[in-house]
Chains A and B, each alone.
Chain A
Amino acid sequence: MEIGPIVRALLRNKLGAVLIAAQIAFTMTVIINAVFIINERSRLMARPSGLDEANIFHVVNIGYGENYREDIVIEDDLAMLRQMPGVRSASSINAIPVSGGGSSTGIRATDDPDTASTPTAIYRADEQIFETLGLNLIAGEYFRAADMRIRSEPGETLADKAVVSAALAEELFPDLSVNEVVGRTAWLPGVVPIQIVGVVERLQAAWPNASFVENSIVVPELYIDTFTRYIVRAEPGRRDSLMAEVEEMLASRPVDRVIRDMESLEQTRESSYRIDSAMSTILSIVIVTLIFINSMGIVGLAVFSINRRRKQIGTRRALGATRPAILRYFMLENFFITSIGVVIGAVLTIALSIVLTTNFNMPTMAWYYTPIGAVLLVLIGQLAALGPSTRAAAIEPAIATRSV
């Protein structure tokens, strides 16, 4: 209704408007990109590992001295672990999924070593590992105890059977269904053939940030190098008490070894994604702070500009403006300023997003972030302006006849 005069008046008083608009533009740029980063990190954190994470814990066993016979110790330890009440299943494994440390290798669907290989995590474990991790078999079968091999020197695996994750099966044999993959042979470095006997729905690699995080292969092998991990799946609700009992049991056995790093898989996940969740928390604080500063800025400048225009407001009231008309005037004024801010902000947001995508390993921001952010910022601006505008509307018309 009075758009023309509001805009013309604003143009005569550019600086205040420009300051607010610039603040909003920068705020929008930071907030939208921060929200995008937070969402991106939560998406990463929300990816399932394929494991029954709530009930699993693991511990490191390092043997030493002349008398340490690793294969026997492991066999005995596992037998005792499996007998403990509350233990659903226990295995030895070389690395823990999602933990950040493990082994990787390259695998091929052909025996030609000159073709490109597919990177994958490789887990060496016993035949009970599937029950222990709680994996979901979607084709074929698991390997058996008879398939287990024991290796005591560096080199390629001695195993000849393997279970792979569906993602790895898909990448190795893009034209075959998971059922057709079962029975196929794949080759590890050094042209070592290995037969795929089963496919699990999902098993993540040890490195959450790896490009091949969904590619995993499990081989039936025990590598004797003094270092192994026990991984235990407890009956629901028994995990925490078992962790203490297991540590005590292992420590009490007369074996020259060190037991360390007892951890639940939930703790492991928490620490693997610690930086991501820290980043999300920091960015959330940044967002709240920015909204606060911005609102304070809008309120501060609005109160000032209204105080300066008290007489003008009174005069408008005298000339017939109703209270809602005054309220509308200041809300509209704020709307124009924030609109300019969000238009500039949209450009900056996209620019920063491009900078972040090109310089850091981040996907492109979805198109809807910018418009949604723009609308929200305009709303925040209107909310911030509501208080001062209401005060402006309450100014008495009689002020028009006062001399100061």
Chain B
Amino acid sequence: MLKMTNISKVFRTELVETHALSDFTLNVEEGEFVTITGPSGCGKTTFLNIAGLLETYTSGSYLLDNVDVTELGDFQRARLRNEKIGFIFQSFNLMPDLNLFDNVDVPLRYRGMKASERRPRVEKALESVGLLGRKKHLPAQLSGGQQQRVAIARALVGEPRFLLADEPTGNLDSNTAQGVMELLNEINAQGTTIIMVTHDQELAQQSPRNIHILDGRIAQESGKRTPVTPAETAAAVA
């Protein structure tokens, strides 16, 4: 699903050269739920940005769903993000001026889908997070947990192969966070690969596979589980 080999990312300013990631190698199989932990500035966000095609890297190779993304232009990268990846952000990143329906609708519009196709998908995604009844509301009218559910609906609406979650519970209280985690586990159970960056040690320990990053390298890896076979995935989706 995701195969990074010897990825390095160097930020250069006139004075300093910072290695955000160095020789980073990681293989995530289809259907896995991986958590990423590490202290501030360890390279978590850089990893996430590279994995999500939000940023390029200095060297190494990255195969996403068997496609080498190293040489891809902006247009193809945008299209891969749109079709294969769902993003969930710590501060939800909903469009404040759009109602819930229009928010969830955004990725489908970039896919160029017809209105008749988009509507049922958006409604299904909102229903799956239990917020279909409030589709005309604005984000500001919702609680933090509800906003994050909308963001999850938006991430799921394009039926991506994997989800990238950046501290999805970081701005939520523990009860709400628990609800969001249950939702993510459910999504994973249906076969979607999830990579989640988190600060929360407890969450990390619960996860089947946790990767701890320090200074741009993998410092520790725990609970690597056997990947699900394609047959199992197909069953889960059905």
Contact = CB atoms under 8 A, between A and B. Distances in A.
Direct A/B contact, Cβ within 8 angstroms: yes
Given A5-B102, A8-B98, A401-B45, A320 B110 contact: yes
A305 to B, nearest CB: 11
Nearest to A1: B109
A176 to B, nearest CB: 72
A336 to B, nearest CB: 14
Interface in A305-326: 311-312, 314-323, 325
A5 B109 contact: yes
A5 B98 contact: yes
B183 interface: no
Nearest to B93: A315
B87 to A, nearest CB: 5
B110 A401 contact: no
Contacts of A317: 54, 78, 81
Interface of A: 1-2, 4-5, 8-9, 12-13, 311-312, 314-323, 325, 396-398, 400-403
Interface in B111-152: 111-112, 138
A311 B102 contact: no
Given A9-B97, A311-B93, A398-B55, A318 B45 contact: no
Contact of A398 (B49, B75, B82, B96): B49
Interface string B80-105: 01110001011101011111001001
B110 A319 contact: yes
B89 A321 contact: no
B54 A401 contact: yes
22 contacts: A1-B109, A1-B112, A5-B102, A8-B97, A8-B99, A8-B102, A311-B93, A315-B93, A316-B106, A317-B81, A319-B87, A319-B106, A319-B107, A320-B82, A322-B78, A397-B55, A398-B55, A400-B87, A401-B45, A401-B48, A401-B49, A401-B166
A5 B55 CA distance: 28
Given A320-B81, A325-B78, 8 more contacts: A8-B99, A312-B93, A312-B95, A319-B87, A319-B110, A320-B78, A322-B78, A398-B54
B36 to A, nearest CB: 13
A145 to B, nearest CB: 88
Contacts of B107: 319-320
Nearest to B106: A319
Which of A1, A321, A323, A398 has most B Cβ within 10 Å? A398
- Interface residues on chain B, size class: 35 or more
Interface string B8-40: 000000000000000000000000000000000
Which of B52, B78, B158 has most A Cβ within 10 Å? B78
Given A8-B98, A312-B93, A320 B74 contact: no
A6 to B, nearest CB: 10
A401 B166 CA distance: 7
Contacts of B158: 320
A320 B79 contact: yes
A318 B166 CA distance: 13
A5 B109 CA distance: 10
Which 10 A/B pairs are nearest by Cβ-Cβ distance? A320-B82, A9-B97, A315-B93, A320-B110, A398-B54, A397-B54, A322-B78, A12-B97, A319-B107, A398-B49
Contacts of B91: 403
A319 B81 contact: yes
A403 B91 CA distance: 8
Contact of B55 (A8, A312, A396): A396
Contacts of A1: 109, 112
Interface in B191-213: none
Nearest to B107: A319
Nearest to B48: A401
Nearest to B92: A315
Contacts of A400: 54, 87, 89, 93
